[in-house]
Amino acid sequence: MTMPVPPASRARATLAALLCAALASVAAPLVTAPAPAVAGIDSRTLGARYDSAASRITFRVHSSAATRMTVNLYAVPTGTQENASYLLTRDTVGTFSVTVDVAALRSAGITGTVYYGYRAWGPNWPYRTGWTKGSSVGFVADVDATGNRFNPNKLLLDPYAREISHDPLRPGMTSSTVYASGPTHRNVDSGPHAAKGVVLPTATPAFGTKPGRALKDDLVYEVHLRGLTRNDPSVPAAYRGTYRGAGMKAAYLASLGVTAVEFLPLQETQNDTNDVDPTGTTGDNYWGYMTLNYFAPDRRYAYDRSPGGPTREFQQMVKAFHDAGIKVLLDVVYNHTGEGGVYSSGGSNVYDIVSWRGLDNPTYYSLTADRQSSWDNTGVGGNYNTYNPVAQDLIVDSLAYWKNTLGVDGFRHDLASVLGNTCQHGCFSYSRTDPNTALNRITREMPPRSGGGGTGVDWIAEPWALGAGTYQVGNFPAGWSEWNGQYRDTLRRDQNKLGVAPVTPGQLADRFAGSSDLYGDDGRRPWHSVNFMVAHDGFTLADLYACNSKNNNQAWPYGPSDGGSDDNISWDHGGIAADQRRAARNGHAFLMLSAGTPMVTGGDEVLRGIRCNNNPYNLDSSANWLGWSPTAEQSTFRTFASRLAAFRHAHPALRPASFYSAADTNGNGLAQLAWFTPAGISPDGAYWGNANNHALGWRIDGTEFGDPAPAIYVGYNGWSGDVNFTLPSPGAGKNWYRVTDTATWAEGANQVAVPGSETLLGGQGTNYLLRGHSLLLLIAR
């Protein structure tokens, strides 16, 4: 089984996190069957909510083991003590609540926005009358035998807050020890510094009409929201890097053929400190895979950062894309949180207490069998406890909020195999079929979009992590599409490791035809394979063919970045720029001509490179933002990419709803899909299995799909030398016409022919000399 380029290289895995995983792996497994998942979205009505008259606010928060809970209310988010504090009442299922009159808050000095946080006591730190903020009264232990980590000195962010006031770390307050447990820091009061929830009126859905397009008909464009416009002179300076600015690029993305924009994480993450050192990367978090809150749109990406502004502006951005017919997909991280892992190795038991950990540590996090440490088999600090019904509620309620209130059309789940875990503490065990996993509950309560389009959600999994049992490509439940890492690796090896890593024609055919070997055995379809050559994690398309190895230890703005895979399956093509561009054309053509759902990465349309840095998770810099002053060669590639995308959209034969058949179902003498050797004959078993054969052709009968072209032919020469292709039948009375040849001789503005201007080649038996490392695309008419 081919392993993927490791995704968890997005942020440095500390030695402590790795040690924690190693210790957990030898602990005795403890499998606890949870109660049935709570049916229904938002059934616990958690969070802070105004009543219909906006005269009262009800605060509701869950904790299975807390013995006391207060809510602290503030007029301003930092630098002061609370204006008021209220004791919450616990019900029989562990929900704490209190209702507060707004008039009373006004009397307490909170005359505008209401900011709030919780303080919690429990078995490891029971309440005692003499306790005051910053004291140790009542303290028993930082953690007890069941994993509780209550600490009333730490103000806790509500997991259900709709917006948050600021990040835990920010300019002027960059020491995380304020939030730490342990003997040195447990008595430090975090209240004046901690991020607070913002009480907002209930948001009204205002995101336009959602596109109902089937995923098979989409072209996904993965991009960082800030990076999309931060460097774009066509966007007013104040809006660059914001939701508002991103919405202004809808027409541009549509011109590329993009039908779905997939943003890297937009839920609140620790990034307020990114600009503390304007030319350094220490502590910076650009990608955003350390989530602080699962409901709040990140304020850093809002032009209007006033309370409620990020929510409104996000909705307006979604509407702008919807008005252009473009879906909005969101990269989400429910496998771990921004609360992080253990501070250091060597037996340390010091953890930050910011939100979930201080409210209900063993409910929200997977722990080791002894409940003393985080269970971490992903290398990112500790797994979220996705098999716990309460923790699942948070996932489901959050997704429903982004879908129903903020207008998101689909979600790509980071390290999604964690969502299939069936073990809460002391082990990891993935299951595709267990109905109580988060994976299956998500699709049960928010059904996926059907293969024919319409309502529903596009669910996409990153089907791997670093730990044992987490690589699950091809093994997700019905309704889930997957990033197909085997597609990427097979085609990269064929392009970049010829003669070093064997790739057979049969393996190529599997990937080009939709990977039925991965998705055809469980009722899924070609479009469940999200095909990609590159993603944010790793090299850009340009660097894939211009770099032999990573070069992450560069000076600002191209680095330094740590981590990153050492196995990129890349090649610099001898440093010959024309050959690098030809390889990039092939890589892009693979995506546009393969069955499945293609995904490209922002800037690939102009061959954006970042000088071989393959892990720029911390580079909030001009080098990592998209550029908007393309060279002539970059503009030529953009034309190539956009015309091939238009070709894909115009030809439904390239977007099959089911796997291709080898049968001639309409009696016209052509199989729905037929494979050919360069000699124009059907490959036999020996040809299919011989890794020394580097050329393959295939013909699709367009009449089977209502395609305007009676037939489409693709010839691929992966060999370094020229190969003569004998063309098969285009159908009775038809001829072949050339749409594109990716070879260097054809490079130029019209390398992909405008419809109607294709070059006539001839009929069956016509010979075509295809240059080395090139691809040919023909249509019949």
User: Is 462 designated active site?
Assistant: yes
Task: Look up residue 315 and give its amino acid.
Answer: Q
Residue 522 DSSP SS3: coil
Q: How many CB atoms lie within 10 A of CB 16?
A: 21
Query: What's the CA gap between 667 and 665, in Å, rounded?
Result: 6
- Exposed, middle or buried by CB within 10 Å (0-12, 13-18, 19+), for 558? buried
Q: Which residues contact 267 (CB under 8 A, 6 or more apart)?
A: 288, 291, 292, 293, 294, 295, 296, 297, 298, 332, 333, 398
d(CA 781, CA 454): 33
Token code pair at residue 124: 């490891």
Which of 189, 462, 701, 707 is flagged as catalytic?
A: 462
Integer Cα distance of 581 and 229 in angstroms: 25
Residues 6+ apart with CB under 8 A from 533: 488, 491, 492, 541, 544, 587, 588, 590, 591
Gyration radius from the chain CA atoms:
27
Q: How many other CB atoms sit within 10 Å of the CB of residue 14? A: 19
Contact at 8 Å (CB) between 216 and 257? no
| Alpha-carbon span 65 to 409, nearest angstrom | 36
Residue 345 CB neighbour total at 10 angstroms: 13
Measure CA 348 to chain center: 32
| Distance, CA of 655 to CA of 529 (rounded, Å) | 12
Among candidate residues 217, 414, 489, 741, the one labeled active-site is 414
The amino acid sitting at 107 is S
Residue 188 near residue 177 (C-beta atoms within 8 A): yes
Ranges assigned E (strand) in 580-685? 597-601, 673-676
Query: How far is 40 from 204, CA to CA, in rounded Å?
Result: 20
Q: Which run of H or of E encompasses 578?
A: helix 577-593
DSSP per residue, 65-133: S-SEEEEEEESSSSSS--SEEEE-EE-TTSEEEEEEEHHHHHHTT--S--EEEEEEEBTTB---TT--T
Strands (E), 693-735: 695-701, 711-717, 723-726
Question: Could you tell me where the DSSP H helices lie in 379-480?
Answer: 389-404, 438-445
Integer Cα distance of 215 and 451 in angstroms: 7
Could you tell me whether strands 260-263 and 327-332 are parallel, antiparallel, or unpaired per DSSP bridges?
Answer: parallel
As annotated, the active-site residues are 414, 462
